[in-house]
A = this chain, B = another copy of it.
């Protein structure tokens, strides 16, 4: 009998609180050791965007933000703090939809995201000086740095995914998506199948990085809040020197903008 294909996802227990300037490679290597895990070839590490942003000090104090007239107008339409609206505009290429409570944009990194991914939950807030947390400047670069750093520390270069929870068209609820990757092919380009008339069908490309980002999000969410790093074994993703750009549909090809 053929061996069953297996994937295992392990949320690292006891991951420390991350502060600006922390060395994520050191924290991850330490947490793997604490969890009695050693990196193996083919392992994937999925990190929640939030800890990457914290380590890279992507905090912004709202007191420092001066809303533009455009931000004031947007804030009124969305029923939001004008300073948040200003930050959303600065972090975005285009505003796609606005309704009370949500501003859906194309983020400067290309993904369509509510509120430009700007986060107010699970960060320490001083009521006298509120702050928010932006997405990392360049999540692909962050993922690649971590991959190389862990290779230096452990001798094994893991594939890395930085994930974030995202809303979707048509369906309720959020799912984890990959906003940065290193060492893996985000789309699994299957050889074109033929249809019943012998014609080659449109190529089926599973977005494997997003599928794994979603799975990791489930493990992070089921665990306590302090499980922002998930080790994945058995995923057998294709190696690649690319980042996550191929996951982004070109706007000229997007039927739902």
Partner-B contacts on A (CB < 8 A) = 1-14, 34-35, 97, 99, 101-102, 104, 111-112, 120-122, 125, 127, 130-132, 165, 168-177, 186-188, 193, 195-198, 201-202, 204-208, 210-212, 214-215, 217-219, 221-224, 227, 235-236, 246-249, 254-257
Rounded to whole angstroms, the CA-CA distance of A223 and B172 in the bound complex is: 29
Contact in complex: B187, A173 (CB < 8 Å): yes
Most buried by B among A122, A165, A187, A206: A206
Q: Which residues of B contact A249 (CB under 8 A)?
A: 169-172
Contact in complex: A170, B4 (CB < 8 Å): no
Q: Which residues of B contact A8 (CB under 8 A)?
A: 6-9
A207-B175, A211-B175 known; A170-B254 Cβ under 8 A: yes
Contact in complex: B168, A168 (CB < 8 Å): yes
Contact in complex: B168, A169 (CB < 8 Å): yes
Rounded to whole angstroms, the CA-CA distance of A176 and B204 in the bound complex is: 12
Q: Which residues of B contact A198 (CB under 8 A)?
A: 127
Nearest residue (CB) in B for A62 is B196
* Contacts A4-B223, A173-B207 known; 5 new A-B pairs at CB < 8 A: A5-B10, A6-B11, A174-B205, A175-B175, A176-B211
Distance between A204 CB and nearest chain B CB, rounded to angstroms: 7
Partner of A218, one of B174, B201, B211: B211
Rounded to whole angstroms, the CA-CA distance of A45 and B134 in the bound complex is: 37
Distance between A36 CB and nearest chain B CB, rounded to angstroms: 9
Rounded to whole angstroms, the CA-CA distance of A112 and B127 in the bound complex is: 43
Q: Which residues of B contact A174 (CB under 8 A)?
A: 204-207
Rounded to whole angstroms, the CA-CA distance of A122 and B111 in the bound complex is: 33
Nearest residue (CB) in B for A202 is B101
Rounded to whole angstroms, the CA-CA distance of A11 and B7 in the bound complex is: 9
Contact in complex: B215, A211 (CB < 8 Å): yes
Distance between A145 CB and nearest chain B CB, rounded to angstroms: 24
Distance between A67 CB and nearest chain B CB, rounded to angstroms: 16
Q: Which residues of B contact A208 (CB under 8 A)?
A: 173, 218, 221
Contact in complex: A165, B206 (CB < 8 Å): yes
Q: Which residues of B contact A97 (CB under 8 A)?
A: 255-256
Distance between A68 CB and nearest chain B CB, rounded to angstroms: 22
Rounded to whole angstroms, the CA-CA distance of A2 and B223 in the bound complex is: 10
Most buried by B among A3, A122, A131: A3
Nearest residue (CB) in B for A130 is B196
Contact in complex: A171, B13 (CB < 8 Å): no
Rounded to whole angstroms, the CA-CA distance of A211 and B11 in the bound complex is: 15
